[in-house]
């Protein structure tokens, strides 16, 4: 029987726990990156960053990071949403197709061309096509979302009845620390989801090499003030790193900036810079 990378990681972690007599490596070891060394790249943006080395328990954070304040997850919610869709059968698989109905989901001015067409679950994840996941939200239903998110300890787990946009600006919210906690439980196999569905998520989230590691992640962003698309924006880049078959790092980066273009590529670019500076990618610093 061939196990997914995530399933193999869960087995290895179980073995490590047994060898350690049921105790985990202390997470008290911490690396703090000075903000001053990144001032040129950060500019007028505010970043909070946390990464956890799952093999050593060491954490790495950016100095002055706000790890506790909750924010809307925006499109990073596509990570749990993909798993919930697969687990509930709202999507039959990663290639589950949905036609775009412009009458039901009219294109807004800011929609890229890639959204204005039918999607699979995988392309909707990779293109961040909001309408696909809004359609799925009605099929899944609010009670199923609340059950899953409460069980998974995903932020405040608030999902209003009948909502198809609860992750876009709220009321669903979570902190940087909670993002990392959720991702840790996910890659360690603690969510109770099928390993095949975790493998499908890995497939969709694959983002390419980073140093000697492989990067998986998801962006998300939206206006700080609802509907004000010309004003201040917040955004995320969250994910994990693998080496071989092992997921060995999880991380979350939250940023605010004066407008969308100021954070559009920065969300991921600066996260990669910080992962490298933490010594987690095997790349030269």
Which of the residues are catalytic? 75
How far CA 123 is from CA of 117, 205, 207, 220, in Å, comes to 11, 10, 13, 15
How far CA 227 is from CA of 154, 169, 194, 223, 285, in Å, comes to 25, 10, 37, 7, 40
3-state secondary structure of 242: strand
Place of tokens 């969308």: 260
Alpha-carbon gap, residue 132 to 114, rounded angstroms: 12
Residue pair 73/155 in contact (Cβ under 8 Å)? The answer is yes
Alpha-carbon gap, residue 219 to 129, rounded angstroms: 12
3-state secondary structure of 53: strand
């Amino acid at each position: 029987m061939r196990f997914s990378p995530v399933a193999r990681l869960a087995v290895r972690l179980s073995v490590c726990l047994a060898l350690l007599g049921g105790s985990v490596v202390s997470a008290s070891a911490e690396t703090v990156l000075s903000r001053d060394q990144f001032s040129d790249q950060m500019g007028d943006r505010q970043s909070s960053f946390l990464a956890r080395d799952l093999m050593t328990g060491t954490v790495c954070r950016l100095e002055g990071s706000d790890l506790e304040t909750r924010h809307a997850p925006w499109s990073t919610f596509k990570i749990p949403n993909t798993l919930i869709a697969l687990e509930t059968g709202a999507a039959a698989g990663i290639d589950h197709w949905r036609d775009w109905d412009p009458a039901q989901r009219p294109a807004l001015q800011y929609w890229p061309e890639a959204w204005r067409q039918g999607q699979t679950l995988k392309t909707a994840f990779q293109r961040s096509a909001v309408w696909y996941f809004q359609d799925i939200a009605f099929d899944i239903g609010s009670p199923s979302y609340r059950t899953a998110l409460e069980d998974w300890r995903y932020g405040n787990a608030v999902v209003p009845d009948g909502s198809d946009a609860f992750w876009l600006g709220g009321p669903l919210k979570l902190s940087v620390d909670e993002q990392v906690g959720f991702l840790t439980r996910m890659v360690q196999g603690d969510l109770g989801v099928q390993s095949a569905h975790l493998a499908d998520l890995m497939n969709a989230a694959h983002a390419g090499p980073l140093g000697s590691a492989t990067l998986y992640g998801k962006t998300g962003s939206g206006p700080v003030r609802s509907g004000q698309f010309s004003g201040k924006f917040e955004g995320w880049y969250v994910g994990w790193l693998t080496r071989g078959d092992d997921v060995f790092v999880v991380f979350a980066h939250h940023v605010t900036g004066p407008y969308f273009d100021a954070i559009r590529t920065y969300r991921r670019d600066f996260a990669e810079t910080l992962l490298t500076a933490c010594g987690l990618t095997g790349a030269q610093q």
